[in-house]
Structure 1
Amino acid sequence: MNTPNRPRPRAILRVHFHPAERTEELYGQLLAVTDGISSRVEPLPADWSAYVDLTGALTYWGYDVEGLVAVLRLRLLALHGVQCSAGAGPTRSIAAMAADVTPPGAATVVGDDPYEIATFLRTKPASALPGIGPKTAKTLARYGITSVGDIADTQLSTLQRILGTTAARQAHARARGLDDRPVVSGAAPKSLSSAHRFDRDELDPERHHSTVLGLVQEIGGRLRASGEIAQALTLTVAYADRTHTTRTRTLTEATAHSPALAACARDLLTGLGLQRARVRALTLRAERLLPAEETVHQLTLDNRDDKLRRLETALDKASTRYRPGIAGAASAFPRIA
């Protein structure tokens, strides 16, 4: 029971959307449904998820957390046929961890009771804690720190010697269920995407590669036509079993230059290791768009890049005069047997 001296516990939700096909329009529609439950929504388009602060909405709707999450799940399914997986808790990090262990069509809710929080957190591997990546987890493991409970039990001064001051304070606090980061409401960062769905589940890595290059050509042309540059790329792979994998990488410099976009996209694709994967669709998204006048191009003594940019301009003119995709990288076109 809340008292005048104790603030009302927060109820933070992390929801992941799992549509059969991903489009920008659909993501906006799913956010609109979510906004109908609570106006405090923070979009995370890179992995098709969002944070939602349900604290005030609980009083408005007269539900507990489980009930309000169930309402949201039913609305998403009824209005758009989209399953979601949801995790809720008193902090962003707990909500994110709860969502990560929840399958599509289900929800995991962690209450604000200290014992319940500790029970949920302590047995999780260290890498499950937001902010602890694989490299940091390996570093901690060398000192015998392998679980979230181990992080919570380790003296802060010891963690600081291992991780550094800021990272140690953050990890130590989150391992004990402390995380006061708010949900920041706002529109999704501007982005642009292109997708390809294979006629059959595709096993050939060369087809994966050429398809991604084709998506790069399309996105690069659209960015240059609209006078915009991208700060990051996100690659989403849809598999035969309807699961998805999403990876995002920030570009060295914001650009609409196809060779730079292609290098980043190739790195994303290679990092996924799809040699034996049955791929149903590939989606490439240019993230965090800016006006092209804000670009900062690093000058070099090599004139090859200038030649590529002139060639790119010529190809854009050909696409405008004839049709998109009429010209581009040879490796982006299918082979003729």
Structure 2
Amino acid sequence: MNTTSRTRPRAILRIHFHPAERTDELYGQLLAVVDGISSRVEPLPADWSAYVDLTGALTYWGRDAEGVIAVLRLRLLALHGVQCSAGAGPTRSIAAMAADATPPGAATVVRDDPYGIAAFLRTKPASALPGIGPRTAKTLARYGITSVGDIADTQLPTLQRILGTTAARLAHDRALGIDERPVVPGAAPRTMSASRRFDRDELDPDQHHRAVLGLVQELGGRLRTSGEIAQALVLTVTYADRSQTTRTRTLAEPTAHTPALAETARQLLTVLGLQRARVRTLTLRAERLRPAEDAVHQLTLDQRDDKLRRLETALDKAATLYGPRVAGAASTFPRAGWRPARRA
């Protein structure tokens, strides 16, 4: 089993947070707890996770990886009531694979030695290796390569003929437990979110649509008030059984313009296909925020767009004076004579 030589064993942690409700404030608080264990934290807000380099923390705390992770899990639960799932190993890819295979409330630790690495990696399906998606896994399977062990045992020139030079090199290295990518500490990219929790499980697609439009209005107004633009939108649906589905889409151009945000939000909602879903909560998050002065608005001869922007300014002023929900798109308000759809 080939591994790169290092002066001391590395311990990389991938941790996933599993709160009942997701808010930007809570994510920041959870990262603060992690930072109390190790200052080398790389936030990954898109899926509510983070990488943590525990190498120095093991010496500081005088514990092994299992002991440090146990302390972290207890703190997260005691301070915020949040369960987590954690995977740790000598590399980022092994930590990610271990975390993906671990249920909430548990941890998986892979030892930094050739035998522990091989025992963990070799029996995993090829698709479990980071960088190997379903399509690549099908391609490999046609050549009889179905496990991570098979990738490790295949000669690199053969893999390169199948996958290409770069992809083959990465897959081969990671299958052998080689991945020198460091944890890159930094603040979480700024995000902004809004949520709508229904009184009861909501089955009506029209209500889902109205709720998402209302969230778009709220986010758009807050972005313009703070002088920021969003580069992507994330829609998270929480169902009656508390399971969640998340979809992300990059905006055509960074913006805080409500119609542009609404178009992307509609696309996300359509992709989710919630025709008969029992929805409890809808959360819309604007990601990768930037200062509004960085915006590049495409010139257009469409006078309707200019009118909408002027209307947007007037609505923002009304919201400042009278509250955020005093005015908005008509489709976010119940129609005259409208009756609520039957709810579960």
Shift in alpha-carbon separation, 1:334–1:176, aligned structure 2, 3 A: farther
Match in the other structure for 2:186: 186
**How far off is 1:228 after superposition?**
0.4
**How far off is 1:302 after superposition?**
4.2
Name stretches of at least 5 consecutive residues in structure 1 with no aligned partner. none
Match in the other structure for 1:31: 31
Match in the other structure for 2:342: none
What amino acid maps onto 2:331 in structure 1? Answer: S
Match in the other structure for 1:262: 262
Q: Distance in 2 between matches of 1:236 and 1:7?
A: 43
Q: Distance in 1 between matches of 2:218 and 2:6?
A: 55
What amino acid maps onto 1:57 in structure 2? Answer: A
Q: Which moved more, 1:35-44 or 1:132-141?
A: 132-141
Match in the other structure for 2:72: 72
1:172 to 2:172 alignment: yes
Match in the other structure for 2:99: 99
Shift in alpha-carbon separation, 1:144–1:279, aligned structure 2, 3 A: farther
Match in the other structure for 1:147: 147
Asked whether the 8 Å contact 1:46–1:246 carries over to 2, the reply is no
Equivalent residue of 2:215, what SS?
helix
Match in the other structure for 1:309: 309
**How far off is 1:85 after superposition?**
0.7
Shift in alpha-carbon separation, 1:64–1:256, aligned structure 2, 3 A: same
Match in the other structure for 2:134: 134
Equivalent residue of 2:234, what SS?
strand
Match in the other structure for 2:320: 320
**How far off is 1:204 after superposition?**
2.5
**How far off is 1:303 after superposition?**
4.2
Q: Distance in 1 between matches of 2:334 and 2:111?
A: 53
Q: Distance in 2 between matches of 1:12 and 1:124?
A: 19
Q: Distance in 1 between matches of 2:302 and 2:144?
A: 50
| Number of aligned positions between the proteins | 333
Q: Distance in 2 between matches of 1:310 and 1:160?
A: 56
**How far off is 1:244 after superposition?**
2.6
Shift in alpha-carbon separation, 1:152–1:268, aligned structure 2, 3 A: farther
Equivalent residue of 2:7, what SS?
coil
Match in the other structure for 1:249: 249
Match in the other structure for 1:118: 118
**How far off is 1:143 after superposition?**
4.2
Alignment deviations for residues 302-333 of structure 1 (CA, whole Å, 9 cap, x no partner): 44433432332333233233321222233323
Q: Which moved more, 1:219-228 or 1:167-176?
A: 167-176
**How far off is 1:99 after superposition?**
0.9
Q: Which moved more, 1:79-88 or 1:317-326?
A: 317-326
TM-score when normalising by structure 1: 0.91
Q: Distance in 1 between matches of 2:334 and 2:73?
A: 41
**How far off is 1:301 after superposition?**
4.6
What amino acid maps onto 2:96 in structure 1? Answer: A
Equivalent residue of 1:57, what SS?
helix
Match in the other structure for 2:53: 53
Equivalent residue of 2:115, what SS?
helix
**How far off is 1:134 after superposition?**
3.2
Q: Which moved more, 1:274-283 or 1:24-33?
A: 274-283
What amino acid maps onto 1:196 in structure 2? Answer: R
Match in the other structure for 1:41: 41
Asked whether the 8 Å contact 1:234–1:246 carries over to 2, the reply is yes
Alignment deviations for residues 258-287 of structure 1 (CA, whole Å, 9 cap, x no partner): 222222222323333333432221111111
Equivalent residue of 1:102, what SS?
coil
Shift in alpha-carbon separation, 1:39–1:155, aligned structure 2, 3 A: same
1:215 to 2:218 alignment: no
Q: Which moved more, 1:100-109 or 1:143-152?
A: 143-152
Q: Percent of aligned positions with the same letter in both sequences?
A: 83
Shift in alpha-carbon separation, 1:309–1:170, aligned structure 2, 3 A: farther
Asked whether the 8 Å contact 1:99–1:108 carries over to 2, the reply is yes
Alignment deviations for residues 51-94 of structure 1 (CA, whole Å, 9 cap, x no partner): 11101100111111111111110111111111111111111111
Q: Distance in 2 between matches of 1:40 and 1:22?
A: 23
